[in-house]
Structure 1
Amino acid sequence: MAAPEKPPATLAELIRRRSSAGRPKEPPSPSATKPPVADRLGQFGLLFAEPEVEAVAEEDEPEALPEREDERVPERRLWSVAELVSALRFRVEREYADVWVEGEVSNCRPAPSGHLYFTLKDGDAQLPVVLFRREAALLKFKPTDGLSVLARGRVSVFESRGQLQLIANSLEPRGAGALQLAFEQLKAKLRAEGLFDEDRKRPLPPFPRTVGVITSTQGAVLRDIATVVRRRHARLNLLVFAATVQGPTCAPDVMRGLRYFNDAPEAHRVDVILIARGGGSAEDLSGFNDEALARAIASSDIPVVSAIGHETDFTIADFVADLRAPTPSAAAEIVTAAQHRIEERVQSLEARLFRAVRFQQMHARQRFLRVSAEGTFARLRDSINRRHQRVDSARFRLEALSQRLLQARAAQLRQVSERLQRQDVHRRVLLATAQQQHLQQRLERTAAGLVVHSRQRLERAGARLYALSPTAILERGYALVYREDGSLLRDASSTAEGETITARVAHGAVRAIVSGNTRNP
């Protein structure tokens, strides 16, 4: 007769059996010598062990012994994190070894190794999925965000993160997802209304003074924009409107920012509005696919620049905005492009001007070094001689002019005398005589005045020339002191005792030996 089925062994009993295996015992009963059931799960089998069914003969079952008091106290089992996660993974993989899951692809990321990672989601939950390289190579289509698919595989646990995931074996498309379908429908509607037309979009001002930025103040986007603006156009003002850029409040917050900048007073008036956000999945950027937000951007009186996500991300706001930038940093560069080009041009011209000034300065220094004292006196003598020559030429011209004038007057006198002699009219003779005397007096006065004026000019010019003459300076008691090598001495401290110097005075020169020097303070 078969023995009745025993209840499942408790965790404490199994641990006690293992710990007592190495201690000496009394001769075991026949039932105790039964070989133990193989533990396929190791330590984790203690948690998920199946009930044991022992079929032994009734006569082989030993008499039940009374349990000791300490055996009734359950012992506490301590698990490490790795052990617990591994046990859960084994249990989950055994229970869900072949499942079919339908959902929408999101955040699809192909890895360089060939593996494919994405997330399956619906309205209430999401599940990470991994498609390894071997299975991914067999796909006949390329999974993209927003695509509805049917995935088959086994559920597992990624131990490094403690994250539940689906290891897919196959993938079948089920049509476009809800978010992608809504995006395409809204895009087609707004395009039909003309909100995407290039003719409607306005150019950006080349030199904006203030830029209104609608973004979150918690992320790195605002710091990136400020860094680019500070480097390229430090005098550009940034007016920030803090807004939520993800979730259900994203579109209302951005629309409030647009209304604020459009209705702002003159003190807060901006020239350009910049809507910025960092990269993310399609669900993270879905707030910018709102129809009301698109119409608010289109109706803005101020040009709007859209800088949402990365270069490969597109939203409805990008198509409606006056300009789309691939990244927030690129948007800051576009806004400051004209100013940056002008600054680069100014810096280039400044460098060219500096080089030209240095070149001219070098040539002037070289010309100055070639000038000597003897050459200076020679040029002064030549200048004085040229001025004397011009004075002599003016005197000759004056004398010739006076002579010609006197000859002309004498010729006129002869003509008048001849006419008078021919007419022989006494009254006319008297009048002509008086007129001739009057004209002769005027001529004499004019000639005398011209001579006096020319002489005065000559004397003044001679006085100025004499004042400029180095010899005149020497006549006043000054002297020019030369070294033995002929160079002009300008600083007394540059002489040494016993050095021979030559002092040139108005009449001759004096040689002397230096016995000491004193420099004026």
Structure 2
Amino acid sequence: MSSQQEFHTSKSLQNDRTILSVSDLNQLARSLLEQNFSKVVVEGEISNFAMPSSGHWYLTLKDRKAQIRCAMFSSRNRSVRFQPKNGLAITAYGKLSIYGSRGDYQLIIDNMEEAGEGALRRAFDELKNKLLAEGLFSEELKKAVFSNYRHIGVITSKTGAALQDILSVFARRSPSTKITLLPVSVQGAEAPSEIVRAIELANKLSSKLGLESLIVARGGGSLEDLQAFNEESVARAISNSELPITSAVGHEIDYTIADFVADLRAPTPSAAAEVLSTDQDDYYEYLHNIIASLNNRIEDRIDFVKQRLDMLTSRLKSPGKKLQEHAQDLDRLESQILLLIKNQINKKQSEINFFKQSILSKSPQNKINWDLSKLETSRKILIKSLNNYLDRNKSALASLSRSLEGVSPLSTLDRGYSITYGPKLSPIKSTDSVKVGDKIRSHLHKGNIESIVSKIENL
């Protein structure tokens, strides 16, 4: 409601001689204040701070010349990241109102921050917008961050809890990862320059030390506490780093310029260590799977070799079986030859009968007798030749059989000899192949003997 509207309202009330109750007056004043002062920012010092069981905050905000009552309800004060106390200078954001029951003029606070944080917040937003416009937050500039590094550099305070949290996680998940601390101040005027020098030093010595990645970390705090990580020099050092950098500054609700520039933002130092490490249980499971796969392959190979050996063994024939096969072949050949001879004789006999009939038809008795005599002689010669041929083949076969029996290992074993195998189941050809105490196996004509070497004599 404007001042002019207020004047007309007041004039109308006077003209109508309307009498307001105290409640109506306070409500009217409250409406006027809330409509015209809905967003105010006030800076002052806290006094008379109270926090009843309801969780609401009640306080007085004052300066050297004046004061104002304030209230901040529990639904709003949960987001405040510091504990208000008497004497603390703050910046309060809210609206003006009137507490109707007492008619007290008061400030209803929606948000508050410690004095000085407002300027820091504005500087934060300005730098964030500047770097965003330059493209320093672009995803295309961010380097990949992995979880299997062998050597990681940590840039943080050597006495802070952040370092202990990081070391604890790596000790539990990946104790083989080497951690190198580059100690810096994480708060104060010297902190930004120390952080920049540490990042530049890590990149310079990365090849010599074997550094593969960096973690820039500190614990939580106010905006002023985290200011070192909101400096432009630190942001540009992170952006220029050749090593991938993970920012782990503050708590999960804290955001810094370093978080936006870094290749990866972790909500806490512990979370950064979790992301950059691989659980050793995963390695054990991976190794177990490899061993199981290797064992399966070995077993498959052994089964294949056994099947191959069985097949070759089934195809290997002893000399006795070989001789039997040759004897069968000889009998088959003899039967074929005899059949051939019989067929030839029958053929010749047919020819003889044909000539006999021809001769008889001409009755040349002497010619017939002579031809018969000649034919009989030829028959005897043929039979004799065939018998000689069979005798030669039988003699050659007998000689071959004797030769095979002579070279057969079974024949040698039958004469009292044996074959002795060493510990690796290979035939022993020299005393150099065994030593005292070795278990050896002797294969006899009938049965096997296992022995233990007690003495070796070299001839």
TM-score (norm 2): 0.52
CA shift at 1:143, angstroms? 6.9
Distance in structure 2 (CA, Å) of the matches to 1:208 and 1:151: 49
Distance in structure 1 (CA, Å) of the matches to 2:119 and 2:145: 35
Distance in structure 1 (CA, Å) of the matches to 2:321 and 2:58: 105
Among 292, 300, 315, the alignment partner of 2:256 is 315
Residue aligned with 1:274, SS: strand
Among 149, 160, 166, the alignment partner of 2:92 is 149
Distance in structure 2 (CA, Å) of the matches to 1:209 and 1:329: 18
Structure 2: 5+ residue stretches without partners: 1-40, 62-68, 83-89, 96-105, 297-313, 352-383, 419-441, 450-459
CA shift at 1:416, angstroms? 11
Among 193, 214, 218, the alignment partner of 1:277 is 218
Among 189, 195, 205, the alignment partner of 2:136 is 195
Match of 1:383 in 2: none
**Residues 463-502 of structure 1 mapped to structure 2, 5 A cutoff:** 467=444
Among 391, 399, 413, the alignment partner of 1:448 is 399
CA shift at 1:404, angstroms? 2.6
Distance in structure 2 (CA, Å) of the matches to 1:396 and 1:414: 27
Structure 1 vs Structure 2: percent identity of aligned residues?
32
Distance in structure 1 (CA, Å) of the matches to 2:121 and 2:203: 31
CA shift at 1:467, angstroms? 3.0
Tell me if structure 1 keeps the 8 A contact 2:42–2:91: no
Matched, 1:459 2:411: yes
Match of 1:178 in 2: 119
Residue aligned with 1:179, SS: helix
Larger helix proportion of the pair: 2
| Structure 1 residues 270 and 412: alpha-carbon distance in aligned structure 2, compared to 1, 3 A threshold | farther
Match of 1:267 in 2: 208
CA shift at 1:440, angstroms? 7.6
Among 138, 147, 165, the alignment partner of 1:224 is 165
Over residues 229-257 of structure 1, what are the superposed CA-to-partner deviations in whole Å (9 max), with x where a residue is unaligned?
A: 11111111011101011111111111111
Match of 2:72 in 1: 136
TM-score (norm 1): 0.46
| Structure 1 residues 316 and 446: alpha-carbon distance in aligned structure 2, compared to 1, 3 A threshold | farther
Distance in structure 2 (CA, Å) of the matches to 1:111 and 1:224: 36
Tell me if structure 2 keeps the 8 A contact 1:208–1:272: yes
Match of 1:402 in 2: 330
Among 253, 264, 277, the alignment partner of 1:336 is 277
Tell me if structure 1 keeps the 8 A contact 2:195–2:234: yes
Residue aligned with 2:199, SS: helix
Match of 2:237 in 1: 296
Tell me if structure 2 keeps the 8 A contact 1:207–1:339: no
Distance in structure 2 (CA, Å) of the matches to 1:296 and 1:344: 39
CA shift at 1:138, angstroms? 8.8
CA shift at 1:345, angstroms? 4.0
Distance in structure 2 (CA, Å) of the matches to 1:173 and 1:104: 15
Tell me if structure 2 keeps the 8 A contact 1:104–1:177: no
Tell me if structure 1 keeps the 8 A contact 2:155–2:215: yes
| Structure 1 residues 262 and 348: alpha-carbon distance in aligned structure 2, compared to 1, 3 A threshold | same
| Structure 1 residues 469 and 445: alpha-carbon distance in aligned structure 2, compared to 1, 3 A threshold | closer
For 2:240, the aligned partner's letter is: S
Over residues 313-340 of structure 1, what are the superposed CA-to-partner deviations in whole Å (9 max), with x where a residue is unaligned?
A: 1000011111111111111111113665
Tell me if structure 2 keeps the 8 A contact 1:114–1:136: no
For 2:194, the aligned partner's letter is: D
Tell me if structure 2 keeps the 8 A contact 1:228–1:332: yes
Distance in structure 2 (CA, Å) of the matches to 1:112 and 1:418: 137
Tell me if structure 2 keeps the 8 A contact 1:305–1:322: yes
Distance in structure 1 (CA, Å) of the matches to 2:226 and 2:253: 12
User: Matched residue pairs, number?
Assistant: 299
CA shift at 1:394, angstroms? 5.5
Tell me if structure 1 keeps the 8 A contact 2:136–2:239: yes
Distance in structure 2 (CA, Å) of the matches to 1:206 and 1:270: 14
Higher relative contact order (CA 8 A, sep 6+): 2
Residue aligned with 1:181, SS: helix
Q: What is the RMSD computed on CA atoms of the aligned residues?
A: 5.2
For 1:310, the aligned partner's letter is: H
Tell me if structure 2 keeps the 8 A contact 1:225–1:328: yes
